């Protein structure tokens, strides 16, 4: 008797017949099964399953941002979902450890059977990069053409659809632009911030000039570095200078969005800004973990292939190393600490501004 229990059945619910039947070894089809090809397939299929989950989480966050006003209750959900993405990303990184149990000789048993298939053809990963904000014009020119030329017509169509949708970078920028506290009820924060920066830099200059232990060449170097810091601060405070740098690709956020991100980081202890600060920190973590994954992938390719070209025709690990650094989305948030000043030098916020950022419990 082979009758299954009534109701929902585990294998059917998970469609395990499809999932566990999806490992077709090319080497086996050619009559010379390569043992490690099974591992290679399963690891990459697992990547694709997790990419789908990350896309699902990122898509839900973008959807929450679509409203002109983001409900405060949704910020907690966004942070929780990004923290889930972090856990998945760490899992993706650890899968490389499993793949590296395969030796270069093991890989060579079936590697040539994969040509011209390549990870470049992972449409889900490209959709994920696009959903985060890495759209076509932000890629290296060689990367831009190389990827699209290796996709089927149907998959190129999917990429075009993804490019037409708002990204997490774009909706975050619009959300930051709406921060109301920068010019609030007669208080101009940036005027006060500029004065605090000038005071801080003047103190730094005096410390350098009055330090008797510094050799003259070192003193001159430190003063030059201080002037470079002053120039960076002036760029963030002068919208015209900022937009010039932005047009050259040095910033991605708009001027108002960048100022809002700085404000949130400077006053993150204020109750109203704690979740926004956590959200921005989560974006940095997403970018860092994907950069780590790309770098580890490049190292693994070097370990497996040496100086050989990749199965998709790229220059192998050299190409992957370049894109690992270039394909970062939230660089503005990484560079943001440049514009932070010590808490002791922060402009004191007026009581009406502080009051507007408190949580009220019947008071």
Burial class (CB in 10 A: 0-12, 13-18, 19+), 54: buried
Q: CA-CA distance, 150 to 115, in Å (whole number)?
A: 12
Over its length of 363 residues, how does the chain's per-residue pLDDT go in tens digits? Answer: 566 677 899 999 999 999 999 999 999 999 999 999 999 999 999 999 999 999 999 999 999 998 777 887 899 999 999 999 999 999 999 999 999 999 999 999 999 898 888 777 889 999 999 999 998 888 877 677 767 777 888 988 888 899 999 999 999 999 999 888 777 677 788 888 888 899 889 989 999 999 999 999 999 999 999 998 888 888 888 999 999 999 988 899 999 999 999 999 999 998 889 999 999 999 999 999 999 998 988 888 888 887 665 554 445 566 777 777 778 899 999 999 989 988 888 888 888 888 887 776 544
The pLDDT mean for the chain works out to 88
328 to 83, 119, 286, 334, 359: CA distances (angstroms): 18, 18, 10, 10, 35
> Are the C-beta atoms of residues 162 and 128 closer than 8 Å to each other?
no
Residue with tokens 């007669």: 186
CATH numeric code, 25-182+253-334: 1.20.58.480
The tens digit of pLDDT for each residue in 292-307 reads: 998 988 888 888 887 6
Q: Both tokens of residue 318?
A: 């050299």
Q: CA-CA distance, 85 to 172, in Å (whole number)?
A: 17
């Amino acid at each position: 008797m082979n009758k299954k229990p009534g109701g929902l059945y585990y294998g059917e619910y998970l469609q395990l017949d499809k999932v566990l039947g999806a490992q077709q070894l090319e080497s086996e089809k050619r009559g010379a099964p390569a043992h490690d090809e099974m591992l290679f397939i399963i690891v990459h299929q697992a990547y694709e399953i997790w990419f789908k989950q990350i896309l699902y989480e990122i898509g839900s966050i973008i959807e929450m941002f679509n409203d002109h006003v983001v409900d405060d209750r949704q910020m907690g959900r966004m942070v929780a979902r990004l923290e889930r993405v972090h856990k998945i990303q760490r899992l993706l990184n650890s899968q490389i450890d499993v793949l590296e149990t395969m030796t270069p000789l093991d890989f060579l048993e079936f590697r040539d059977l994969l040509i011209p298939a390549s990870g470049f053809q992972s449409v889900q990963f490209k959709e994920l990069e696009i959903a985060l904000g890495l759209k076509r014009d932000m890629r290296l020119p060689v990367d831009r053409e190389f990827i699209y030329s290796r996709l089927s017509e149907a998959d190129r169509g999917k990429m075009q659809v993804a490019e037409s949708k708002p990204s997490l970078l774009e909706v975050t920028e619009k959300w930051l632009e709406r921060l109301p506290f920068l010019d609030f009820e007669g208080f101009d924060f940036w005027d006060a911030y500029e004065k605090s920066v000038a005071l801080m830099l003047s103190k730094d200059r005096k410390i350098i000039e009055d330090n008797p232990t510094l050799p003259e060449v070192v003193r001159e170097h430190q003063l030059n570095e201080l002037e470079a810091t002053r120039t960076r601060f002036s760029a963030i405070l002068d919208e015209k200078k900022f937009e010039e740098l932005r047009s050259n690709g040095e910033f991605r956020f708009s001027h108002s969005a960048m100022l809002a991100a700085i404000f949130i980081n400077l006053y993150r202890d204020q109750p109203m800004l704690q979740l926004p600060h956590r959200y921005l920190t989560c974006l940095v973590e997403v970018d860092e973990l994907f950069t780590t994954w790309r770098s580890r992938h490049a190292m693994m390719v070097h370990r497996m292939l040496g100086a050989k070209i990749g199965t998709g025709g790229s220059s192998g690990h050299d190409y992957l190393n370049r894109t690992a650094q270039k394909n970062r989305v939230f660089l503005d948030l990484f560079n943001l600490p440049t514009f932070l000043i010590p808490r002791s030098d922060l402009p004191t916020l007026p009581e009406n501004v502080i009051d507007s950022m408190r949580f009220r419990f019947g008071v």
